[in-house]
Amino acid sequence: MTEPRSPGYSQEELPVETERLDIGHLGQQLKKRRGQLSIRKAAAEAGVSFSTWSRIEAGGQPDLATFTLLCAWLGVSPARFFNPVTEREMSPLDQAIGHLQTDPRLTDDAAAKISSMLRDMYEALARNVAPTRPPIACHLRAASVMRPGAPQRLAGILGDIHEALTQKIEAGEL
């Protein structure tokens, strides 16, 4: 029997993120730390209900209060369960596959088989179109604390890099 997957959200429903909570890692750490201890006893020690513990260990999302209680029980910083997320545009294919991978009615193997078939079909039938997004996108979050003129000089350098990359893409070199 395969492990249940955590419920997911489509990319349209998620706000822009800089980090994402790794629910699977949290569930694994709870199982590992609990060891031979029953879920009821471990949940009581941590100060959460049996059903909440069971749901989170199976991949469910905890609320903030529960998350902090579980991190305290584990003896680890909450930051341990956050992974950086790089922003990227999701293709329709990636969105469809993401939905399949979070469908609780599909086993991991079934979702992988359907995903593979979709990728093969997409590669065979999709046509190439010119990219509409620039090859570089940058946000200078620290610009307000830089020396005067530094953001403008950096913007100029990044603009030159952008232009060079655009030329290489148009020439088919990238």
Q: State the CATH number of the domain containing residue 62.
A: 1.10.260.40
Q: 14 vs 87, which has greater pLDDT? A: 87
pLDDT single digits (tens) 121-167: 888 888 776 655 555 555 666 666 777 777 777 778 887 888 888 88
pLDDT single digits (tens) 59-94: 888 998 999 999 999 998 888 888 766 556 678 888
Q: 173 vs 115, which has greater pLDDT? A: 115
Do 57 and 104 fall within a single domain?
A: no
Whether residue 8 is contained in a domain is answered as no
Do 36 and 73 fall within a single domain?
A: yes
In this predicted structure, what is the pLDDT of residue 52? 92
Whether residue 10 is contained in a domain is answered as no
Do 43 and 65 fall within a single domain?
A: yes
Do 113 and 151 fall within a single domain?
A: no
Indicate the number of domains in the chain: 3
CA–CA–CA angle 101, 107, 113 (5° rounding): 70
**How does DSSP classify residue 19?**
E
Whether residue 4 is contained in a domain is answered as no
Whether residue 26 is contained in a domain is answered as yes
Which residues on neighbouring strands pair with residue 138, listed in sequence order?
A: none
Q: Tell me: pLDDT of 6 over 70.
A: no
Whether residue 11 is contained in a domain is answered as no
Do 108 and 167 fall within a single domain?
A: no
Q: Which residues, in sequence order, are CB contacts of 53 under 8 Å at separation 6+?
A: 30, 39, 42, 43, 46
Whether residue 55 is contained in a domain is answered as yes
Handedness of CA 158, 160, 161, 163 (dihedral sign): positive
Q: Tell me: pLDDT of 117 over 70.
A: yes
Do 107 and 154 fall within a single domain?
A: no
Do 115 and 59 fall within a single domain?
A: no
Q: 47 vs 13, which has greater pLDDT? A: 47
Do 80 and 100 fall within a single domain?
A: no
Do 62 and 32 fall within a single domain?
A: yes
The model carries a pTM of: 0.41
Whether residue 3 is contained in a domain is answered as no
Residue numbers of the domain that contains 113: 92-125
Q: 25 vs 141, which has greater pLDDT? A: 25
Do 50 and 108 fall within a single domain?
A: no
Do 161 and 108 fall within a single domain?
A: no
Whether residue 1 is contained in a domain is answered as no
% the chain with pLDDT above 90: 24
